[in-house]
Amino acid sequence: MAAMSFRIAVQEHAGRLSAADQRLIRELLGKPTEAAFLSASELATRGGVHQATATRLAKKLGYRGYPQLRAELQEELLDSIGPGERVRRRLAHSAGDSLLAAMVADEVAALVELPTQVSQAQLDTAARLVSAAERVFLFGHGHATALVDLLSRRLRRSGHAALSLVGSARDLAEQAALLSERDVVLAFALHRPPPGLRAVLHHAAHAGAPTVMVTDAGGPLLRPQPTVLLAARRGAESEFQSLTVPMAICNALVLTMARLNPESVSALDRLTGLIDTFESEEERISDR
């Protein structure tokens, strides 16, 4: 069922809807930007009903459950809000205030919330998978390619073989052809599932390679689900968002790997020595 048919479904099933159902529908239709990202319990609290009412409502309207209803509403909402509109909403949100101060406050709030969404146990599991892998395949699209570049460099500096999965469908297929059960895929999905993500996840599953996903609010709805999901909100979904939160997750992952495997720190020492050797050689050649 498409999100755009939600109103039609409500009309078609109007005779079956209870007073509690109607309170939830008013929340979903009256505040779509907020309501599309609420959990069943959060929506029920706003509507003043029992949590089970949200699940029953979704099934009455033809959805498998509340998560599918919410996923469809989110997809429709995000499709209707382009980059320009997100920037306009961010500016309106900060009207009359210092943009820098407002942005810092929002970033700090998102970072403070991060440990409540991604646990150290999850980072430990992801770090073990990445550390044990023969190669780390990093997937990203759009702005997330900056995170791919950052993490790729940090992994190589710590002695890990890191390969990038970026580009067109043909490029992704050629790069992913090397994937085996000895490898791991570390993917980024921000705002919405990027082109190629599902194909990469399916291929990884077929190859027997574990997957680690760094994502935001929509992460739990991704299919197929990754082996480890590191999902954290980056602020208001309908406004301009930065890479601060996923970058913090990347840095925490690298540091967790170092704590679990001190040899990766020794690799940094060896790299420092190698850099000194290369620089000395360049100076020797230039002095000739």
CATH number of this structure's domain 3-80: 1.10.10.10
Backbone angles phi, psi at 229, to 5 degrees: -110, 120
pLDDT of residue 2: 45
Q: Give residue 184's pLDDT band: very low, low, confident or very high (50, 70, 90).
A: very high
Where are the chain's structural domains? 3-80, 118-275
pLDDT in tens, 246-288: 999 999 999 999 998 877 777 767 877 788 888 887 777 776 6
Radius of gyration of the chain (CA): 23
Q: With a threshold of 0.85, does the pTM exceed it?
A: no
CATH number of this structure's domain 118-275: 3.40.50.10490
Residue 130: exposure state from Cβ atoms within 10 A (0-12, 13-18, ≥19)? buried
Give the span between the Cα atoms of 59 and 162, in whole angstroms: 44
pLDDT in tens, 121-166: 999 999 999 999 999 999 998 889 999 999 999 999 888 999 999 8
pLDDT in tens, 215-240: 886 565 566 789 999 988 887 655 55
Residues with Cβ within 8 Å of residue 253, at least 6 apart in sequence = 123, 126, 127, 130, 151, 230
